[in-house]
Structure 1
């Protein structure tokens, strides 16, 4: 970092230390904020465009044509989120080292192998001329803002002293590719499973990676790794895990989730379809979402967009609403390759022949240092992930094959006739669900459960790309040298499931298995826990008088259905006997915990003592059951904890009866007194009570789940601080109270509709939250209601940086109205007017 950047952060840090006043810092950086009124003349604008703002800074863009609207959209996104957009673009391209320096090279190397830029260029070429024109207009708007604001950048960009390159029309597709990367978690679970197989043996994997409650354990899938000497891969797999975790740490990749549901008019109180959606993303500042409303003479639309992407990802028009949840698609596979060195270069074994490894060179520009080059290596199964991740010197050296295996990543590239971008951009212009569903089937670039509603009917369509495999399901890494696990192409969208309902029905998804058991197409083997979907189904079935208020209550529901399932087992006489056999004082503690959990109503409120005890029990059970097997393998334990975001081994062991899981090796301990389900749960109850007394005190009436489990919004600067120079890290630490928000008491967990997941076995820090909520109620004149979890801006000096947090905590939604009276109410008369550069005597619409 140059002295100028350090000085800027140092000045602000000193100002805070001397005064403790955030308002003075805001005043210092007021020049970086966008204007919300007055007039701006822009080149390239054809006709005037007006922008009104509601009290939370959400813009209403009114223009006479879409070319102008997209240009202004880009300008506004840049004015509020340029630092966010830049970081997402750098991550997707594998160019973070240009911003952060050498510490980001391992992330860049990993991301460069994802080839998102190449995919974006290919998809752009397959986009219609009209849509390319809109993407160009959006990019032009971003660049118009950049050209006039390079000396008015937000604090973090200014401190980094980073010259932002021009925005490209393909960058929107690039960021979409990054978002899609976060929707599939199997790549990371395959890395986790490889680490565990190395250290505990492949025969343990089926018990540690169950598929779904009613499905058999994946013993057949694990057998492909048995007998292989995986020890030489330990260093590479662990390095891959570190890189993967680094992406999680900066909240630029994590396993995401979501809920959505829709109800037909005859099941609603006011006779209009209802659609609800809440997307689950890592907690942090800024929110991924930027709310926006657009109006032209022919079109109105409102909802949530992602900065850098000119699209309403979730939202509605006066005629159609849409949202999505993640399929948790398994469309990435790791293949193990047998490698050797030869005079011709590195080779890999395939069907009895040694084939040359394809080599390409990548150049990395490093902030404050010389450029670095790296060779990328590729087999027929994909890029080798491990060979360039051995040590820091790899970047300067040619490939040296030190291990027996390489780790190749297989992904599906865009097809020559891919219509995904055109379909995505066309859906908001449809008026009826069947037409929108037909377009959704053409979306290959993102794997989601798309839910749709018009005024009469609701529909669900699965989207994305999924491989056809010769053998296996791709849950664990596959040997690549004999070809038996190769991909045969992709599944035809004609085989994708869908549903359309016009009466007496509802549709919903919550990352659960969305197809029946035994469905012939493998869309995923890493579905989420089913409890969220079970709770949604229960609430949807309780009444035929659904309305806006009941939908809000559903989105804030914190009942965990697993509590009732646990209570069924807690009544088992075998457990009571095991508790009676415990030594004192464990017996007393277990008895107390047992009685309290049996009385628990299952609602995980932040002020609930029983909710604290219940989650302490789940954590202790996880440790009592599994931790001893991992005692000498901390890397494998970390991998196991990370992998528990889908349906987990802990839940599978806890909820299944002894006859179904008696073969699990994890029930058997060195101490017979601690072996078996009843004994392990008895000790877990005692340990949970003891841990609660340690953390929350001996007075149970003072226990609160929210004292252990909190919301903390950390800023982009705080998230990336570990990868920045030391002096900048110190400055960011001094600005903690200015940049970050919280902690606030949190309720819920991974199983509640109002999700607040944490890392089971690690700590109770909240990971995923409902990052935005959408309700579309077509019985209302203005049907669109939204809620962001943070604010519109990524600039800490902005009043809209974190002004949604209190409303998000309290359940206050914002209306984005289509009617003129509603717009007057929400946006008032004040307008920011954009005019063509040479306009004279022209007024705003």
Structure 2
């Protein structure tokens, strides 16, 4: 690549940013702002477009949410593409380009490493296979959607700010782009391979057995020592020479991927538990706090298809929602559909080989060309084994041109890391979501849901009279082991043998309890005969929802809204029980009273008193001082248990540990409540051996000191929402100090935590920044004339110049619902801005 051109380009963007930041501060000199704002045009009353058959009516409501009405499906999905481009073009383009491994064409060499890693996954093969197998009706939908996107592009010269700042002109949208978006969704909801890489990083410092303590499966299950022992004869540090590059890459992935984190709720009540005698279906998907978020709202209607709900930008139809007869919502199963295999490698005569069942086999070579903004194309050779892509090149510190080799990088270790990944049947999954939207009743929905094979979800659905739950996805069957942690690849004994038959996936309809709920928790018995995952999330939200629903017998919409907004933390309550249990409470007081420092003693006893069940109801409300103490305690106790062994907060191991705590049931909560025997309770930086109670006592003191430092020494000023906030930050502002007011929204005080139904996740031990929230909240009460309530956050539009970029935040903060009407008179009343699209003659 021409480094001079690349530098000049980056310098131009930086200088433009600086200049724009200064310009925006000068009254009357808002040149750049005006250029951005040209991308938002007033809604015309009518336009004409070629490529449609009949008139299309597009209505928008107060929040800019579209209601699209057409006379046939071809025009309907054309209009869906047109509106998606208007509302979320940059996001659509980025998702497709990311999954294709082509971000360097937009951002230059800075994203080349990420591109190489993504390209090493070979999503192109899965997309190509899906396109070949796609039925004609589904292909027609994708083609019409693509034509709609491209019609918007062709008729709009003023693109949103991101295109101006990057000087990037998007290509025409193709049907394949939608499948790349689907492929990214598959990766986002099945990220076990990242946990396995984190395990290798931690094992390199701690050893396999001790590292296993940091990967608990569930409160009632054993630590996975047997899984960790699979690699006992392989030195962990020889595997993870790529660890530094991986952590850098992981940080970039978290910035670029719109989901990739767990947590969602859904539930359904049968008519015998509701006031109307009809079913209620609820869903609130918890995704990364980002602007724009991963969902956009839409109502689509024509004579043969009508559905309202959320869709992913780049996908033609409703993904989760309601069609007037059936409602459906989803949470992540936390599926383990990805396995890392450690391969024995060598280079013979310039050929990279891997060992398989006693034979050395040549690695399959695949040449990939990477085009870069401002530079020449770069060719890289990627490798595959019989298990899948070899990640060494994608994870290694790849040199930049002119040093970039066109031949495979030489193996710097006798071991490689390959990835098996279930990403089949994308074509069937796409059609399945379309079919769900057309289902006339729960039986038709059941058949459609069973065909969702490429995405791992708990789909809860229902009609007026019935409710059901189905686990979806293709779950690998293994010869041996559970696939929780990396496996030796050279023996063949841990290889996949196929996939779980669809009729073996968990399913329930109209259970005796009268309700269904999932919240990323373990939804099957401990001894379930098939391995779905070892990465369940904690049980707290599911337990809380079930306990509330169990008591209901006349549930209505208002009760569902109340439960969606609940900030009670089951984990906080469990911590209270621990601190005030016998003999823990007595031992804590004994340790604290034995301290010589009177101020330290007073602080710890103060924290203990503030966390007492008598003084704190375990509700993590934003204005609560006691909640602030609980949040600070959880933060401090995590650091107290683990930071000393992991080498300090700047170490790769600490970063990997924080990373893995975000992704599933975590070591901090597991240790705090269930593992007093763990070796991590000892503080290795002191000359004595500590107990669990010693670490707890220190954390109580540290929590008070933290709040004094972060808020005030005046206890009356303490509030959880002063350190725990919602702050929507655009990706661009993470790299520059300018445009924050234009691109970002917040901060706002946040209540709740990762264990409350109204999730507001922060990472224990790192900081209190909220990074995971309900990205949408949906309720369908079949007993109402207008059953559906749906809201997203921060807004419908992804264009920072749009008034609908962040205008749903107030409703989100107060827990309000928003109707999605189906009746004609209600539709016309709510969606009062109207544009008609006529076919060009």
| C-alpha distance in 1 between matches for 2:711 and 2:29 | 33
Following superposition, the deviation at residue 665 of structure 1 comes to 4.7
| C-alpha distance in 2 between matches for 1:533 and 1:712 | 27
Asked if structure 1 preserves the Cα contact closer than 8 Å seen for 2:676 and 2:692, the reply is no
The answer for unaligned runs of 5 or more in structure 1 is 722-728, 839-845
CA deviation digits over 1:396-428, x for unaligned, max 9?
A: 12321111211111112425x962222221111
Please give the residue correspondences for 1:173-212 in structure 2 after superposition, counting only pairs within 5 Å. 173-212=179-218
Please give the residue correspondences for 1:515-594 in structure 2 after superposition, counting only pairs within 5 Å. 515-571=524-580, 572=582, 573-584=586-597, 585-594=599-608
Asked if structure 2 preserves the Cα contact closer than 8 Å seen for 1:4 and 1:161, the reply is no
Following superposition, the deviation at residue 249 of structure 1 comes to 2.2
Please give the residue correspondences for 1:44-55 in structure 2 after superposition, counting only pairs within 5 Å. 44-55=51-62
Instruction: Tell me the residue number matched to 1:842.
Output: none
Say if 1:108 and 1:485 are closer, same or farther in 2 by CA, change over 3 A. same
- What TM-score do the two structures reach when normalised by structure 2? 0.94
Size of the alignment, in residue pairs?
A: 820
| C-alpha distance in 1 between matches for 2:427 and 2:148 | 27
| C-alpha distance in 2 between matches for 1:388 and 1:114 | 9
| 2:631 aligned residue (595, 608, 615) | 615
CA deviation digits over 1:210-269, x for unaligned, max 9?
A: 100011111111111223112223331332232122110234353232110110111011
Following superposition, the deviation at residue 13 of structure 1 comes to 2.9
Please give the residue correspondences for 1:812-827 in structure 2 after superposition, counting only pairs within 5 Å. 812-827=816-831
Please give the residue correspondences for 1:402-413 in structure 2 after superposition, counting only pairs within 5 Å. 402-413=412-423
| C-alpha distance in 2 between matches for 1:655 and 1:480 | 36
Following superposition, the deviation at residue 434 of structure 1 comes to 2.5
Q: Specify the SS of the correspondent of 1:766.
A: coil
Say if 1:2 and 1:405 are closer, same or farther in 2 by CA, change over 3 A. closer
Say if 1:322 and 1:26 are closer, same or farther in 2 by CA, change over 3 A. farther
Asked if structure 1 preserves the Cα contact closer than 8 Å seen for 2:186 and 2:454, the reply is yes
| 2:701 aligned residue (686, 702, 707) | 686
Say if 1:670 and 1:74 are closer, same or farther in 2 by CA, change over 3 A. closer
Say if 1:37 and 1:705 are closer, same or farther in 2 by CA, change over 3 A. same
State yes or no: 1:40 paired with 2:33: no
Instruction: Tell me the residue number matched to 1:328.
Output: 334
The answer for unaligned runs of 5 or more in structure 2 is 1-8
| C-alpha distance in 2 between matches for 1:171 and 1:28 | 28
| C-alpha distance in 2 between matches for 1:334 and 1:87 | 27
Following superposition, the deviation at residue 667 of structure 1 comes to 3.8
State yes or no: 1:652 paired with 2:690: no
| C-alpha distance in 2 between matches for 1:262 and 1:250 | 33
| C-alpha distance in 2 between matches for 1:30 and 1:209 | 48
| 1:17 aligned residue (19, 25, 35) | 25
Report the more deviating stretch, 693-702 or 468-477.
693-702
Report the more deviating stretch, 620-629 or 24-33.
24-33
CA deviation digits over 1:616-640, x for unaligned, max 9?
A: 1111111111111112681111101
| C-alpha distance in 1 between matches for 2:657 and 2:14 | 40
Please give the residue correspondences for 1:369-518 in structure 2 after superposition, counting only pairs within 5 Å. 369-393=375-399, 396-397=404-405, 398=407, 399-414=409-424, 419-501=428-510, 505-518=514-527
Asked if structure 2 preserves the Cα contact closer than 8 Å seen for 1:127 and 1:421, the reply is no
Please give the residue correspondences for 1:236-251 in structure 2 after superposition, counting only pairs within 5 Å. 236-251=242-257
Asked if structure 2 preserves the Cα contact closer than 8 Å seen for 1:34 and 1:79, the reply is no
Instruction: Tell me the residue number matched to 2:237.
Output: 231
Please give the residue correspondences for 1:73-472 in structure 2 after superposition, counting only pairs within 5 Å. 73-149=80-156, 151-343=157-349, 345-393=351-399, 396-397=404-405, 398=407, 399-414=409-424, 419-472=428-481
| C-alpha distance in 2 between matches for 1:655 and 1:244 | 30
Asked if structure 2 preserves the Cα contact closer than 8 Å seen for 1:757 and 1:769, the reply is yes
Asked if structure 1 preserves the Cα contact closer than 8 Å seen for 2:73 and 2:304, the reply is no
State yes or no: 1:643 paired with 2:660: yes
Asked if structure 1 preserves the Cα contact closer than 8 Å seen for 2:249 and 2:395, the reply is no
Q: Specify the SS of the correspondent of 2:25.
A: helix
Asked if structure 2 preserves the Cα contact closer than 8 Å seen for 1:511 and 1:528, the reply is yes
- What TM-score do the two structures reach when normalised by structure 1? 0.94
Instruction: Tell me the residue number matched to 2:4.
Output: none
Report the more deviating stretch, 3-12 or 189-198.
3-12
| C-alpha distance in 2 between matches for 1:167 and 1:716 | 23
| C-alpha distance in 2 between matches for 1:666 and 1:196 | 17
CA deviation digits over 1:517-543, x for unaligned, max 9?
A: 110111110111111111111111122
Say if 1:258 and 1:392 are closer, same or farther in 2 by CA, change over 3 A. same
| 1:781 aligned residue (770, 780, 785) | 785
Say if 1:387 and 1:10 are closer, same or farther in 2 by CA, change over 3 A. closer
| C-alpha distance in 2 between matches for 1:458 and 1:4 | 57
Instruction: Tell me the residue number matched to 1:804.
Output: 808
| C-alpha distance in 1 between matches for 2:437 and 2:838 | 27
Instruction: Tell me the residue number matched to 1:724.
Output: none
CA deviation digits over 1:703-728, x for unaligned, max 9?
A: 11111111111124325x4xxxxxxx
| C-alpha distance in 2 between matches for 1:797 and 1:419 | 38
CA deviation digits over 1:102-149, x for unaligned, max 9?
A: 000011011112222321232233222112111100000001111222
CA deviation digits over 1:776-816, x for unaligned, max 9?
A: 11111111111111111111111111111111111222211
Q: Specify the SS of the correspondent of 1:559.
A: coil
- RMSD, aligned CA: 2.0
Q: Specify the SS of the correspondent of 1:302.
A: strand
Say if 1:20 and 1:284 are closer, same or farther in 2 by CA, change over 3 A. farther
| C-alpha distance in 2 between matches for 1:676 and 1:94 | 49
Say if 1:554 and 1:216 are closer, same or farther in 2 by CA, change over 3 A. same
| C-alpha distance in 2 between matches for 1:171 and 1:447 | 21
| C-alpha distance in 2 between matches for 1:224 and 1:134 | 47
| C-alpha distance in 2 between matches for 1:286 and 1:664 | 43
Instruction: Tell me the residue number matched to 1:769.
Output: 773
Asked if structure 2 preserves the Cα contact closer than 8 Å seen for 1:123 and 1:421, the reply is no
Say if 1:449 and 1:20 are closer, same or farther in 2 by CA, change over 3 A. farther
Asked if structure 1 preserves the Cα contact closer than 8 Å seen for 2:681 and 2:695, the reply is no
| C-alpha distance in 1 between matches for 2:372 and 2:549 | 53
Instruction: Tell me the residue number matched to 1:841.
Output: none
Following superposition, the deviation at residue 2 of structure 1 comes to 8.6
Say if 1:607 and 1:271 are closer, same or farther in 2 by CA, change over 3 A. same
Say if 1:130 and 1:800 are closer, same or farther in 2 by CA, change over 3 A. same
Q: Specify the SS of the correspondent of 1:140.
A: helix
